[in-house]
Amino acid sequence: MQVFIAQIINGLSTGSIYVLLVTGFNLLLLVAMIIHFSYPQVVVFSMYITWIVIKVTGGSILLGILAGIASSVAVNLVSAPLFQKVMQKRGAVDINSTMVLSMGLGMIITDVLSHSFNNGLPISFPGGLGGSASLLRVGLISLTTGQALSLGIGIIVVSLFFLLLYRTRSGRAFRAIAEDPNGARLVGIPLVRTGLASYALSGVFGGVIAVLFAMMLGYASPGLGEQVAHKVLAVSIIAGLGNLAGGLVVGLALGILEAIVQGYISGSWSNAIAFVIMLVVILVRPKGLFGTRL
Amino acid sequence: MASNSAALLSVDGISVSYGHVQALRRVSLEVRPGEIVVLIGANGAGKTSLLESVLGINALREGNVTFAGAVVSGSSADRNVRAGLCLVPEGRGVFASMTVLDNLLLGAHHNMRNAQKNLNRVYEWFPVLAQRKDQVARTLSGGERQMLAIGRALMSAPKLIMVDEPSIGLAPLVVNDIFAILTRLNREGYAILLAEQNAYKALKCAHRGYVLETGSVTLAGSSAELLADPGVREAYLGA
């Protein structure tokens, strides 16, 4: 029972990060109409920026966090014109070209990181930015600051996001484009500018995820983004591409599933088992558990 | 009644192509303040292309569009909506998964400051929308959706409302309601450019009309003239 509770805590905190990742990914899919497969690489890039800034400023975590967020917003905004350039037409998701461009950007980021920092070896965040401090320990059950923050900030960010989506002018424009891009244009919603807002917002998400990741893992490596990218894409597809609510459920479920496998079988099998289960789900329900929303 | 003042909208010899298909050939027309102008034409004659081109959706190959004294061709649809143009799309174009209120507020995207005031006016016009404001649009009937689409257009405080085939797929009684609404809106001062296949009813409520055939204007005149024209009677009025 203790193992189970411990792993549920682990799973929820990792799942919270998956949820944020898949939400940012889905936002770009719905509003910017791109498949940003390498969105997690952008997040890892931000982890490196956070790490450098903390180093350079002699340990200022606050500046590191701000730089992390600013850098992923910047990467997203810089790549936006590239995506817009390769898209055949506005008004529909151009899966092929945007996916290829995204993978290219991801490879560039990965290579730049491995050539520029620490000889390509993982970098470590001492004390996980304070995230590895233990808040609570009862037998095998422990809760670290990083885990608590990951779950807490995850809930806050997702709630704020849904509030924005359903209570603001920009959110309404996001939803209109997600439902019918051409119809949105006919009523005067600017597709390009609203799309840019979604790049910026998913950039903010990315920065927050980078910090939470650093707290949870305590390290970053050039290849981390790619490992996570496969999971994010899988979660989005399993939930139903572009299905925001579905992404919440499946993101958390993947975190818990992995943690349970780690706790009872072996950590090295968690990826394989998770992907086998997801494969079965997609065979049974090709449009995802909750249906595609494109 | 139509005044003789300068045109509110003037379309000047515009041509539009989609790839090799030429949708519009040197089309010219104008709408003066306070007018209802109807655009008659069969399916595929280019009515929708024309309205969307005026709105700024399609790139023009030649010609230009002037609205309220400024050249608007070449600027984006959202900018033109801000300038006072708007389109009620064919098939209503409401966002089915969004609430009636959200649909209306989308129309106010560039005019949020007056949103509450305009919302109250739209609810006065269409009390049924006030009753259903929290329902998602997919639960509305065809006629209610058309009212929602018109109401959404009003939210942008337009100077000219373009309406694309409002009668399509609606029961005859509902069509009468919609035309009555358009006439009332016109009496309140809105200029209207209406594309319709239902030529008789449209001409009955319009001041003037243009006949569009395979992308060209083939005939123009007052509603009475068009209603009396033998060619129009044969092709569009089934007489």
Domain final residue pick, B157, B180, B204: B157
CA A118, distance to chain mean position in Å, is 24
Q: Tokens 């009390």 map to which residue?
A: B127
d(CA A184, CA A168): 16
Q: Look at residue A272 in the predicted model and tell me its pLDDT.
A: 86
Sheet with B85-88, edge to edge strand ranges: B85-88, B160-164, B191-196, B36-40, B208-213, B216-222
Question: CB–CB of A189 and B95 under 8 A?
Answer: no
Q: Give backbone dihedrals phi and psi of B70, rounded to 5 degrees, phi first.
A: -125, 145
Domain final residue pick, B138, B157, B176: B157
Q: Look at residue B5 in the predicted model and tell me its pLDDT.
A: 61
Task: For strands B216-222 and A134-138, give the pairing.
Answer: unpaired
Q: Is B57 on the interface with A (CB under 8 A)?
A: yes
Q: Which helix (H) or strand (E) holds A285?
A: none
Q: Look at residue A59 in the predicted model and tell me its pLDDT.
A: 85
Q: Look at residue B143 in the predicted model and tell me its pLDDT.
A: 93
Residues with Cβ < 8 Å from B179, sequence gap 6 or more? B166, B167, B201, B202, B204, B205
**Quick one: average pLDDT of A164-185?**
95
Give the closest of A187, A190, A193 to B106, CB-based: A187
Residues with Cβ < 8 Å from A65, sequence gap 6 or more? A50, A207, A211
Q: Are residues B70 and B141 in the same domain?
A: no
CA torsion angle for A170, B98, A247, A281 (degrees, to 10)?
A: -150
Residues in A closer than 8 angstroms to B160, CB to CB, are: none
Q: Which residues of chain B have pLDDT under 70?
A: 1-5, 239
For B19-42, letters b (16+ CB in 10 Å) and e give eeebbbbebebbbbbbbbbbbbbe
Q: Look at residue B2 in the predicted model and tell me its pLDDT.
A: 42
Q: Are residues B212 and B231 in the same domain?
A: yes
pLDDT digit string (tens) for B63-89? 999 999 999 998 999 999 999 999 999
Q: Tokens 């549920």 map to which residue?
A: A8
Residue B45 placed within a domain: yes
Q: Two tokens at A197?
A: 């807002």
Q: Is the pLDDT of residue A156 over 80?
A: yes
Q: Are residues B174 and B140 in the same domain?
A: no
Give the closest of A172, A179, A190 to B76, CB-based: A190
Neighbours of A138 (CB within 10 A): 10
Residue B123 placed within a domain: yes
The CA-atom distances, in angstroms, between A32 and each of A105, A246, B46, B180, B205 are: 17, 19, 30, 40, 42
The domain locations on chain A are 2-223
Residue B71 placed within a domain: yes
Give the gap in angstroms from C-alpha B5 to the nearest C-alpha of chain A. 28
Q: Look at residue B235 in the predicted model and tell me its pLDDT.
A: 87
Q: Is the pLDDT of residue A134 over 90?
A: no
DSSP state of A28: I
Q: Are residues B130 and B179 in the same domain?
A: no
Q: Is A291 on the interface with B (CB under 8 A)?
A: no
Q: Is A189 on the interface with B (CB under 8 A)?
A: yes
Count interface pairs A-B at CB distance under 8 A.
62
Give the closest of B77, B97, B98 to A186, CB-based: B77
Q: Look at residue B112 in the predicted model and tell me its pLDDT.
A: 92
Residues with Cβ < 8 Å from B83, sequence gap 6 or more? B67, B68, B70, B72, B75
Q: Look at residue A119 in the predicted model and tell me its pLDDT.
A: 86
Angle CA B16–B18–B20, to nearest 5: 105
**Quick one: average pLDDT of A76-94?**
84
Q: Are residues B72 and B7 in the same domain?
A: yes
Give the closest of A169, A183, A193 to B93, CB-based: A183
Q: How far apart are the first and last CA of chain A?
A: 41
- pLDDT bin (cut points 50, 70, 90) of residue A126 is confident
Q: Is the pLDDT of residue A205 over 60?
A: yes
Average the pLDDT over each of A200-204, A259-263, A271-275, B214-218 and give the range with the smallest value: A271-275
Helix (H, G, I), strand (E, B) or coil at B45: coil
Question: CB–CB of A175 and B95 under 8 A?
Answer: yes
Number of independent structural domains in chain B: 2
Q: Is the pLDDT of residue A91 over 70?
A: no
Q: Is B42 on the interface with A (CB under 8 A)?
A: no
Q: Give the domain range for residue B77.
A: 1-84+159-239
**CATH number of the CATH domain containing B66:** 3.40.50.300
pLDDT digit string (tens) for A13-65? 999 999 999 999 999 999 999 999 999 999 999 999 999 999 999 888 999 99
Q: Are residues B47 and B165 in the same domain?
A: yes
Residue B17 placed within a domain: yes
Q: Look at residue A269 in the predicted model and tell me its pLDDT.
A: 83
Q: Are residues B28 and B69 in the same domain?
A: yes
Q: Is B110 on the interface with A (CB under 8 A)?
A: yes
Mean model confidence pLDDT for chain A: 91
- pLDDT bin (cut points 50, 70, 90) of residue A90 is low
Q: Are residues B135 and B218 in the same domain?
A: no
Residue B209 placed within a domain: yes
Q: Look at residue A294 in the predicted model and tell me its pLDDT.
A: 61
Give the gap in angstroms from C-alpha A186 to the nearest C-alpha of chain B. 7
Residue B237 placed within a domain: yes
Q: Look at residue A274 in the predicted model and tell me its pLDDT.
A: 81
Q: Which helix (H) or strand (E) holds B12?
A: strand B9-18
Asked whether this complex has an ipTM greater than 0.90, the answer is yes
Among B177, B211, B221, B226, which residue's Cα sits nearest to residue B27?
B211
Domain final residue pick, B136, B157, B178: B157
d(CA A243, CA A293): 5
Q: How far apart are the first and last CA of chain B?
A: 28
